[in-house]
Amino acid sequence: MSIHRTAIIHPSAVIEESVEIGPYVVIGQGVTIGAGTKIGAQATLEGPDLTIGQENQIGPHAYLLSHTTLGDRNKIYPFSAIGCEPQDLKFKGEKSQLEIGHENIIRESVTINRGTSSGGGITRLGNRNMLMAYVHVAHDCLIGHETVIANSVALAGHVEVQDGAVIGGLVGIRQFCRIGKYAYVGGCTGTNKDIPPYMIASGPAYRMYVSGVNSIGLQRRGFDPSMVRDLKNVCKILYFTDLSLQEALLKIKNEFSHAPHVLELVTFIENSKTGIVGAGKEEDGEESKRRGYRGRISRQLSC
């Protein structure tokens, strides 16, 4: 164990032998730190109930708070604040949690808040995600595995980002919205609706539209070409016909009953509570037709 002489460590902290602790680090009551973890200068680890796994790298000035569980081999960069209380006026100090998995990269000045009782009491980040600088993850967010969330993205409370999704920089996601698995969200925009799995979504803030299937991203992930082809045909039915949303979904279920990934997309849409981006006449209503969303989507489809 290597502990700098200026570090301040509470007697109740449990620290494995191979941990390295830099200058002016503060480790509070009830903190547990696993083997091989390295903690940079002036980082603060507050308890109680802060558990850090093995072989993590915690950068200088990082701030980790109570009721947080960090898995193994994560890399947290300077000035990140992990496990802060939720920014919710209804929060009255009740116990809530933040769970972070393994092998995540959390860059400079990222903030991740704990959950609230109204959202199940937990915020969760899976494995092998990359959160770039200044990302904010609000209370009760659920982030899957292998996502990329670019600089200055703001996820409001209760947002779900599913496995493999990519979100471009400077994007705002409204409360309770979902980003489907392997979707790609273009930068400098915002959404107040769900973005279906496997799709590319972009456009002006809160007037986003789907422009096609995330073909390149799916190829990079090793998706079979036949699966990508199925998704392109599904995209055409959803966005390039005059069918209502219900009619389009029925047609898709009938024609692609053999394709689990397509049926998964259908289930995602059917379970939507906010509506989906570029959902068509039934979802967008008369206002969408007045603004010309349907025609614009049709012209810009690349699927």
pTM of the model: 0.92
Residue span of the structural domain in which 74 resides: 2-161
DSSP state of 64: E
Residue 70: inside a domain = yes
Residue 214: inside a domain = no
Whether residues 96 and 226 fall in one domain: no
**Residue 63, domain CATH:** 2.160.10.10
For the ranges 133-137, 202-206, 222-226, the lowest mean pLDDT is seen at 202-206
- pLDDT one-digit tens code per residue, 263-274: 999 999 999 999
> Which of 128, 161, 194 marks a domain boundary?
161
Residue whose token pair is 């990140």: 80
Torsion angles phi and psi, residue 284, rounded to 5 = -90, -20
Give the Cβ contact number of residue 95 at 10 Å. Answer: 11
- In this structure, the strands spanning 172-173 and 2-3 are unpaired
Give the pLDDT score at 137. 99
Give the pLDDT score at 295. 38
Whether residues 149 and 262 fall in one domain: no
Whether residues 13 and 156 fall in one domain: yes
Whether residues 157 and 262 fall in one domain: no
- pLDDT one-digit tens code per residue, 144-183: 999 999 999 999 999 999 999 999 999 999 999 999 999 9
> Which of 112, 137, 161 marks a domain boundary?
161
Whether residues 84 and 156 fall in one domain: yes
Residue 128: inside a domain = yes
> Given pLDDT bands bounded at 50, 70 and 90, which one contains residue 303?
low
Q: Which of 122, 245, 231 is nearest to 182 (CA)?
A: 231
- In this predicted structure, the answer to whether residue 286 has a pLDDT above a threshold of 50 is no
Count of positions (residues) in the chain: 303
Residue 209: inside a domain = no
> Higher-confidence residue: 267 or 303?
267
DSSP state of 85: P
Q: Please give the angle made by the CA atoms of 148, 167 and 206, to the nearest 5 degrees.
A: 165
Whether residues 155 and 239 fall in one domain: no
Whether residues 38 and 147 fall in one domain: yes
DSSP state of 195: B
Give me the number of domains the chain comprises: 2
Whether residues 13 and 140 fall in one domain: yes
DSSP E strands in 205-251: the ranges are: 209-213
Whether residues 154 and 254 fall in one domain: no
Residue 110: inside a domain = yes
Radius of gyration of the chain (CA): 22
User: Residue 188 is which amino acid?
Assistant: C
**Residue 252, domain CATH:** 1.20.1180.10
Q: How far is CA 162 from CA 38, 107, 154, 203, in A?
A: 30, 20, 16, 21
Helical pair 245-255 and 281-291, crossing angle rounded to 10 deg: 130
Q: Is 222 exposed, middle or buried (0-12, 13-18, 19+ CB in 10 A)?
A: exposed
> Which of 132, 161, 190 marks a domain boundary?
161
Segment 275-287 mean pLDDT: 56
Whether residues 127 and 26 fall in one domain: yes
- pLDDT one-digit tens code per residue, 238-257: 998 999 999 999 999 999 99
- In this predicted structure, the answer to whether residue 46 has a pLDDT above a threshold of 80 is yes
Whether residues 117 and 248 fall in one domain: no
Segment 28-38 mean pLDDT: 98
Residue 24: inside a domain = yes
CB 191, CB 177: distance < 8 Å: yes
Can you tell me the distance from the alpha carbon of 248 to that of 256, in angstroms, rounded to the nearest whole number? Answer: 12
- In this predicted structure, the answer to whether residue 280 has a pLDDT above a threshold of 60 is no
Q: Which of 65, 67, 64 is nearest to 95 (CA)?
A: 67
Residue 130: inside a domain = yes
Whether residues 141 and 248 fall in one domain: no
Residue whose token pair is 């704990």: 114
Give the pLDDT score at 297. 42
Catalytic residues: 139-140, 157
Residue 190: inside a domain = no
- pLDDT one-digit tens code per residue, 67-105: 999 999 999 999 999 999 999 999 999 999 999 999 999
Residue whose token pair is 């049709």: 298
